[in-house]
Amino acid sequence: MLLQQQLQQHLQQLQQQLLLQQQLILLLLLLLLLLPPLLLLLLILPLILLLLPPPPLLLKQQQLQQLLQQQLLLYYYYYYYYYYYYYYYYYYYYYYYYYYYYNYYYYNYYYCYNLYHYHCYCYY
């Protein structure tokens, strides 16, 4: 009984090995059949690519430089616009600040002058 089981296992192993060998042989034959057309395609493909026109999405070097210059000019103008706008706001703010400051001292002086006129002490 034990010997029969061992023989069956051995037979199964041999069948699996034979199946694997058959699959490998078939795969090698298929590769040998496909290899010449693939090699031929690899030889012809560079020639086909050379004969084809360049794709339209690829820009020339001059077009790329022009685009880059336009973007730089746009950035340049935007930067200076922002710069002048900032300084305009800055001067407007200081003008408003000094105007307020001047009015404050003017009213303070006028108030102290009145207090002094009525013989009161004035501190500022």
pTM over 0.75: no
Residue pLDDT, tens place only, 96-114:
666 666 666 666 666 665 5
**Distance between CA atoms of 71 and 37, rounded to whole angstroms?**
49
Q: What distances in angstroms separate CA 61 from CA 48, 73, 85, one per listed residue?
A: 24, 18, 36
More confident residue, 120 or 98: 98
Query: What confidence score (pLDDT) does residue 124 get?
Result: 46
Kind and range of the H or E run holding 34: helix 2-51
Distance CA 16, CA 5 (A): 17
| Burial (0-12, 13-18, 19+ Cβ within 10 Å), 104 | exposed
